[in-house]
């Protein structure tokens, strides 16, 4: 009979395990945006003596999983050691072999993982490791970097974050249409850092035609980050004339006439984590379609009194129909605030 997996909290970890956990979390965060359709997992290995001897993050599709990179670094030091992994080790052969087998072969004595694997074909790794005599515990913790992937697997479609940059009174542009630089430099830098962790950025033809944004992820000095998200435009108006140098696909843009066709296409492309950057009518359409899973709201200390609101046509007529979100975190960025929200009662 397989034993139920022991549940532990961060307070149950030894100092060495707590340090290895930090390393595993950082390794997972570093590869976010590069692994889809696979999850951005991080792993760390402690030797039997408690020495950190391997750290790894999942490589792009077809490449090794986090555990394999960390085990390779650890070499013979993994014998009798502990593996800390942000996601339950897989037990199936996909493009790479089962991580459970690799951990067993390396002589790992204990595995601590955080999230259970929700994919039917990969799940069950914990039981398999226990059957091989390895001590297994599940750590009660939430890994923010894994949430979009976990949600995407559960929903059977990409996880969708709506990004809004607005004034305190909820406007994204002034009455005369001016909208650039609502937020300050620290918030804008944060937008670029976030973009390179996403699989795609989505805008409407209205924003494409008004602003002709490059939608690239750039460093403060203007250089492109190595990872660039796919750029998607929704709407029927042609935008080709904005890009005289080539066709849309060659320039890394895809255009779709509506949200459902976009969602089914990008799901088949293996995209897991996408960011809707507006404008207000597209934001309203995503809300009305009830597919917004998270909000990323940059709030500038400005009041406009009138202008364009951050969302238009969200399909709400009375308070009880409001789209509800719960606050997950706030960060001060210069004079602006970044507030992150998760949809309440996801469908
Ligand atoms: N401050 C910010 O964070 C921010 C961010 C983005 C944009 N903006 C500002 O917003 C302004 C543009 O606003 P906007 O509302 O016109 O732009 P938008 O939301 O980017 O684009 C609207 C267009 O998107 C398409 N669309 C929206 N919902 C759709 C649906 N359900 N199915 C198919 N197509 C759909 C339609 O295109 P077709 O008509 O072509 O079919 C629609 O006309 C610009 O001035 C820009 O600067 C501000």
Residue nearest to atom 14 of ligand 1 (CA): 206
In this prediction the pTM is 0.91
- Residue 208: is it exposed, middle or buried by C-beta count within 10 angstroms (0-12/13-18/19+)? buried
Q: Is 67 a catalytic residue?
A: yes
Q: Ligand 1 centre and the CA of 208: distance in Å?
A: 8
Which residue from 282, 308, 315 has its CB within 8 A of the most atoms of ligand 1, so it is best to mutate? 282
Give the ligand 1 atom nearest the CA of 237. Answer: 40
Query: Could you give the count of Cα atoms lying within 13 Å of 16 in the half-sphere of its Cβ?
Result: 13
Tell me, using a 6 A CB cutoff, whether residue 126 lines ligand 1: no
Whether the CB of 100 sits within 6 Å of ligand 1: no
pLDDT of residue 247: 62
Task: Please give the Cα distance from 256 to 332 (Å, whole number).
Answer: 35
Burial of 266 per CB tally in 10 Å (0-12, 13-18, 19+): buried
For the chain of 347 residues, list the mean pLDDT of each consecutive stretch of 10. Answer: 82 97 97 94 98 96 94 97 97 80 96 92 86 96 95 94 97 89 94 94 92 84 88 91 64 88 93 94 97 97 96 94 96 98 79
284 lines ligand 1 (CB under 6 A): no
Domains of the chain, each with CATH number or no CATH: 6-146 (3.40.140.10), 157-343 (3.40.430.10)
* Dist CA 30 CA 66 (whole Å): 12
For residue 320, the model assigns a pLDDT of 93
12 lines ligand 1 (CB under 6 A): no
Which atom of ligand 1 lies at the shortest distance from residue 312's CA?
15
The closest residue, in CA terms, to atom 34 on ligand 1 is 235
Polymer length in residues for the chain: 347
User: 67, 88, 128, 145: which one is catalytic?
Assistant: 67
C-alpha 77/C-alpha 256 separation (Å) is: 51
The CB-side HSE value for 328 (13 A sphere, CA atoms) comes to: 16
Question: Do residues 78 and 54 touch, judged by C-beta distance below 8 A?
Answer: yes
- Determine the pLDDT at residue 250: 66
Q: What gap in Å lies between CA 65 and CA 67, rounded to an integer? A: 6
What burial class does residue 329 get, using C-beta atoms within 10 Å of its C-beta: 0-12 exposed, 13-18 middle, 19+ buried?
A: exposed
Q: What is the pLDDT of residue 245?
A: 59
The b-or-e profile of 127-164 (16+ CB within 10 A means b, else e) is: bbbbeeebebbbbeeebebbbbbbbbbeeebbbbbbbb
Q: Whose alpha carbon is nearest atom 15 of ligand 1?
A: 281
307 conformational bin, left if phi > 0, alpha if psi -120 to 50, beta if neither: left
Could you give the dihedral angle defined by the CA atoms of residues 212, 213, 216 and 218, in that order, rounded to the nearest 10 degrees?
130
């Amino acid at each position: 009979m397989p034993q139920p997996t022991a549940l532990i909290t961060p307070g149950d970890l030894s100092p060495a395990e707590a340090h290895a956990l930090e390393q595993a979390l950082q390794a997972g965060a570093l590869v976010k945006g590069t692994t889809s359709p696979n999850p951005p997992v991080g792993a760390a290995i402690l030797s039997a003596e408690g020495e950190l001897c391997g750290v790894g993050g999942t490589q792009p599709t077809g490449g090794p999983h986090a555990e394999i990179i960390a085990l390779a670094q650890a070499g013979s030091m993994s014998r009798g050691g502990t593996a800390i992994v942000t996601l339950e080790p897989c037990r199936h052969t996909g493009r790479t072999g089962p991580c459970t087998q690799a951990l067993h072969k390396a002589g790992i004595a204990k595995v601590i993982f955080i999230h259970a694997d929700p994919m039917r074909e990969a799940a069950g790794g914990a039981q398999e490791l226990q059957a091989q005599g390895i001590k297994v515990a599940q750590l009660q913790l939430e890994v923010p970097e894994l949430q979009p992937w976990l949600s995407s697997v559960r929903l059977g479609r990409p996880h969708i974050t709506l990004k809004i940059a607005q004034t305190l009174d909820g406007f994204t542009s002034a009455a005369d249409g001016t909208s650039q630089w609502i937020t300050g430099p620290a918030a804008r830098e944060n937008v670029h850092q976030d973009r390179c962790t996403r699989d795609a950025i989505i805008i409407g033809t209205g924003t494409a035609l008004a602003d002709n944004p490059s939608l690239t992820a750039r460093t403060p000095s203007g250089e492109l980050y190595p990872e660039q998200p796919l750029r998607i435009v929704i709407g029927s108006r042609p935008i080709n004339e904005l890009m005289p140098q080539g066709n849309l696909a060659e320039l890394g843009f895809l255009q779709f006439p509506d949200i459902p066709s976009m969602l089914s296409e990008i799901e088949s492309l293996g995209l897991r984590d996408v960011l809707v950057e507006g404008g207000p009518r597209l934001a309203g359409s995503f809300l009305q379609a009830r597919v917004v899973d998270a909000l990323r709201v940059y709030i500038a200390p400005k009041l406009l009194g009138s202008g364009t609101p951050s969302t238009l046509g969200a399909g709400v007529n009375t308070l009880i129909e409001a789209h509800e979100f719960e606050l997950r975190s706030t960060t001060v960025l210069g004079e602006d605030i970044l507030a992150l929200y998760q949809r309440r009662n996801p469908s």
